[in-house]
Homo-oligomer: A and B are copies of this chain.
Amino acid sequence: MIRVTIWNEFRHEKQHQKVREIYPEGLHAPIADYLAKREMEVTTATLDEPEHGLTEEVLARTDVLIWWGHIAHHEVEDAIVERVKQRVLEGMGLIVLHSGHFSKIFKSLMGTSCDLKWREAGDKERLWVVNPGHPIVEGIGEYIELEREEMYGEYFDIPEPDELIMVSWFTGGEVFRSACTFTRGAGKIFYFRPGHETHPTYYNEQVLRIIANGVRWAKPTHVAKRNFGNAQPLEK
């Protein structure tokens, strides 16, 4: 059983009628439902809980953390961000969704601005697979289509990904590196673009499948302790 914690800012759902209609229990709910049916042990955490729901205990028993945030990135406490970052370096997997590109945790792990172009105009998005053997696209065809999504466009200010898995085409003429992986310390990171709060993207079977594949890919291996500091010679 992979132990997954889904973190959602959970503010749009409370503040905007349109979002609440799509995701009455929060956009983390359909993701949690899907994963829980696939031999994963799922818990959720949200911004307004004490310590944002990300206590030492919660993180210690999390194999993979999923992150969605948007309008309240600045409210996430730096100490919690640092706590999450240490767990990633030690091996916890991290999946960053959509507007999480601007979260403190993602920017801190990337070392760049993570900025991009965007447009809320209901563009069609087609995500093409450019790495067909990667386990994150297991069971996916050549591409997936989303009838309406927010547009994200290049230049996306991230480091060169370790692996580029999907590239998006948008009606308005833009492209985007939509599924990318990174390694930081012993931790695996997967950024996946779709998921604007005003579209029912997290009910899409293929989007959910990619998230589930991402969890399996990002789960920690049984990592050896990484030793640092002063070291005696191994040879005479």
Contact = CB atoms under 8 A, between A and B. Distances in A.
Copies of this chain, tallied across the complex: 4
Contacts of A168: 175
B173 A169 contact: yes
A15 B161 CA distance: 43
A112 B133 contact: no
Interface string A125-167: 0101111111101111110000000010111110110111001
A79 interface: no
A155 B108 contact: no
Nearest to A233: B172
A169 to B, nearest CB: 5
A151 to B, nearest CB: 8
A30 B126 CA distance: 36
B133 A185 contact: yes
Contacts of A89: 112-113, 157
Given A118-B230, A163-B160, A185-B157, A134 B174 contact: no
A110 interface: yes
A224 interface: yes
Interface residue range, chain A? 35 or more
A115 B228 contact: yes
A169 B174 contact: yes
Given A164-B160, A234-B126, A186 B133 contact: yes
Interface in A190-236: 220-235
B118 A231 contact: yes
A98 interface: no
A159 to B, nearest CB: 6
Given A117-B228, A128-B175, A138-B223, 18 more contacts: A91-B133, A109-B112, A117-B227, A119-B233, A129-B154, A129-B224, A130-B156, A133-B221, A139-B222, A157-B226, A159-B183, A159-B184, A160-B183, A168-B175, A169-B173, A172-B231, A173-B233, A173-B234
